[in-house]
């Protein structure tokens, strides 16, 4: 859609074709781009998996949105002269008030739900007094611009300041001392409410002294609803993402076919004191006495196991090859990490083993829809490691990930020698990363 509008600005009449489930999104995108009369046409969903003959029936059939012949819409879209509607000034401004009109509490709760400003769990209403109290959690001015967020790459991005982040932190039930973490999450530029059809989620990892300062839980139940800070930090990140980016409303600003349980809250600290290895943020180049929040993007799958047991290699390979596209964030109980130490592994050597052994046949690898969509063009352009994977014979095994893709974090209560692998990509500037943002964010800058 963005490309179509860019061509229009270059003087090339362009017709964007989408499937009908994206009609509202196409309209909203055109409106936000200042071209509300863009001449979209639609075919039925899905296009994926349809044979050439079936695609031809789409082309020769009816546009499910306009209810007219599809090709009539295409030809008219390119040839019908611009009319009065096209010449209307499509400029507009949207002024968001700082405060809402005074209202009874129950009516405000209903208003927040009606406007899709919540995650449909009860919220704390952001009164002036509560927001003032929250703002005491940072030395930064309330009107300091923190950053921008957008539901996905081609959507408009909205800006926000410290106060707006504090408002959402209040709604999530967070305490003022958590605010620097929440500001760092917001400043990442990575939305916890991606609009992708893939139903992505983010998983946030906190490292450094702030974990203990604010009482986060890296012990029993670290990944679950058993700690105020863990729970409300993850929730605050979700709420601020949806409200500060301009919404996360199904059909408009959210298209995930399933949604994702991890969207409610997914934030935990590393058990640095009980890990046999250096903390995650230190491995990534930060000082041990710095506090960071690292954002992993994915949340498609969760694999679980025990170990390291006699057949751990087979188990790991099954888990590592669970998905073609999303590299794993491997979360280990300290018992598991120590077990790998006993087997002679460092964290790095275990990551290298995982990268070396996570393989699929080239046929299987390239048959994945998302690999084909995002990575095949990079392979065709000669960008490694994708180009080599594309050159492989269909039955040849190709590596799914590089060592830098795979991350290991230690947390948990040592009640079970268990590990989990989550789909979790640490976003970095690289070909194929269309989302942008900063994956590892220093919390101390927001104290």
Partner 1 sequence: MGDKITVHDPRGFPPKVTGKRLANRLERLDGKVVYLIDCLFENSDNFMVQLGQWFAEHLPSVSTRIIKPRECWIDDPDMRATIAAQGNAAIIGVGL
Q: Which of residues 345-374 bind partner 1 (CB under 8 A)?
A: 369, 372-374
Residues 6+ apart with CB under 8 A from 372: 366
Please identify which residue in 69, 156, 209, 282 interacts with partner 1, judged by CB under 8 A. Answer: 156
Q: Is 327 in the site for partner 1 (CB under 8 A)?
A: no
Q: Is 84 in the site for partner 1 (CB under 8 A)?
A: no
Q: Tokens 């001015």 map to which residue? A: 141
For 148, other C-beta atoms within 10 Å of its C-beta total: 17
Please identify which residue in 68, 144, 159, 226 interacts with partner 1, judged by CB under 8 A. Answer: 159
How many Å apart are CA 201 and CA 196, to the nearest integer? 10
Per-residue CA distances from 301 to 49, 136, 352 (Å): 23, 38, 21
Q: Is 11 in the site for partner 1 (CB under 8 A)?
A: yes
How many Å apart are CA 307 and CA 330, to the nearest integer? 13
Please identify which residue in 22, 237, 300, 365 interacts with partner 1, judged by CB under 8 A. Answer: 22
**Which residues, numbered 162-191, are part of the site for partner 1 (CB under 8 A)?**
163-164, 167-168, 171
Structure tokens at 265: 């809250």
Q: Tokens 């991606």 map to which residue? A: 194
- String marking each residue 88-127 x if it binds partner 1 according to CB under 8 A: xxxxxxx-xxxxx-xxxxx-x---x----x-------xxx
Residue closer to partner 1, measured from CB, 169 or 223: 169
For 229, other C-beta atoms within 10 Å of its C-beta total: 23
Question: Which of 108, 162, 109 lies closest to 132, judged by CA?
Answer: 162
Helix (H) or strand (E) holding 418: strand 418-426
Residue closer to partner 1, measured from CB, 72 or 212: 72
How many Å apart are CA 41 and CA 14, to the nearest integer? 11
Residue closer to partner 1, measured from CB, 95 or 289: 95
Q: 3-state DSSP call for residue 188? A: coil
Q: Tokens 């290699």 map to which residue? A: 313
Q: Is 429 in the site for partner 1 (CB under 8 A)?
A: no
**Which residues, numbered 24-63, are part of the site for partner 1 (CB under 8 A)?**
25-26, 29, 31-35, 37-39, 43, 47-50, 52, 55-56, 58-60
Q: Is 192 in the site for partner 1 (CB under 8 A)?
A: no
In whole angstroms, how close is the CB of 331 to partner 1 at the nearest point? Answer: 30
In whole angstroms, how close is the CB of 218 to partner 1 at the nearest point? Answer: 30
Residue closer to partner 1, measured from CB, 43 or 203: 43
Residues 6+ apart with CB under 8 A from 89: none
- String marking each residue 407-426 x if it binds partner 1 according to CB under 8 A: --------------------
**Which residues, numbered 239-268, are part of the site for partner 1 (CB under 8 A)?**
239, 243-246
Q: Is 14 in the site for partner 1 (CB under 8 A)?
A: yes
Question: Which of 1, 62, 76 lies closest to 36, judged by CA?
Answer: 1
């Amino acid at each position: 859609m963005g490309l179509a509008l860019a061509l229009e600005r270059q003087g090339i009449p362009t017709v964007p074709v989408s499937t009908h489930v994206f009609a509202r999104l196409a309209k909203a995108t055109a409106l936000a781009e200042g071209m509300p009369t863009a001449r979209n046409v639609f075919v039925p969903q899905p296009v994926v998996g349809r044979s050439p003959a079936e695609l031809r029936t789409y082309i020769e059939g009816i546009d499910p949105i306009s209810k007219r012949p599809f090709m009539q819409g295409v030809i008219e879209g390119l040839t019908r002269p611009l009319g009065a509607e096209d010449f209307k000034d499509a400029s507009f401004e949207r002024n968001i008030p700082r405060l809402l009109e005074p209202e009874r509490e129950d009516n405000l709760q209903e208003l927040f739900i009606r406007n899709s400003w919540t995650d449909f769990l009860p919220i704390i209403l952001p009164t002036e007094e509560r927001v003032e109290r929250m703002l005491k959690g940072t030395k930064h001015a309330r009107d300091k611009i923190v950053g921008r967020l957008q539901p996905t790459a081609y959507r408009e991005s909205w800006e926000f300041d410290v106060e707006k982040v504090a408002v959402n932190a209040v709604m999530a039930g967070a305490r003022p001392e958590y605010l620097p973490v929440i500001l760092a999450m917001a400043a990442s530029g990575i939305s916890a409410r991606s609009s992708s059809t893939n139903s992505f989620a983010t998983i946030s990892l906190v490292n450094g002294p702030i974990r203990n300062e604010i009482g986060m839980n890296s012990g029993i139940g670290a990944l679950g609803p058993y700690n105020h800070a863990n729970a409300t930090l993850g929730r605050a990140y979700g709420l601020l993402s949806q409200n500060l980016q301009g919404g996360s409303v199904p059909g408009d600003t959210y298209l995930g076919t399933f949604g994702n349980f991890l969207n409610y809250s997914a934030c935990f600290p590393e058990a640095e004191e009980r890990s046999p290895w250096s903390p995650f943020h230190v491995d990534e180049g930060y000082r041990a006495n710095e506090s960071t929040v690292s954002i992993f993007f994915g949340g498609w799958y969760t694999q679980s196991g025990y170990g390291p047991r006699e057949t751990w290699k087979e188990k790991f390979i099954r888990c590592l090859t669970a998905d073609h596209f999303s590299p794993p964030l491997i979360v280990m109980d300290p018992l598991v990490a120590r077990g790998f130490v006993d087997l002679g592994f460092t964290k790095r050597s275990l990551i290298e083993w995982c990268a070396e052994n996570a393989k699929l046949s080239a046929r299987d690898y390239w048959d994945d829809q998302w690999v084909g969509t995002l990575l095949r063009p990079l392979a065709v352009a000669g960008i490694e490691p994708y180009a080599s994977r594309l050159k492989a014979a269909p039955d040849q095994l190709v590596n799914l990930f590089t060592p830098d893709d795979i991350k290991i974090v230690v947390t948990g209560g040592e009640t079970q020698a268990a590990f989990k692998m989550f789909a979790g990509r640490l976003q970095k500037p690289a070909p194929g990363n269309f989302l942008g943002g900063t994956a590892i964010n220093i919390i101390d800058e927001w104290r």
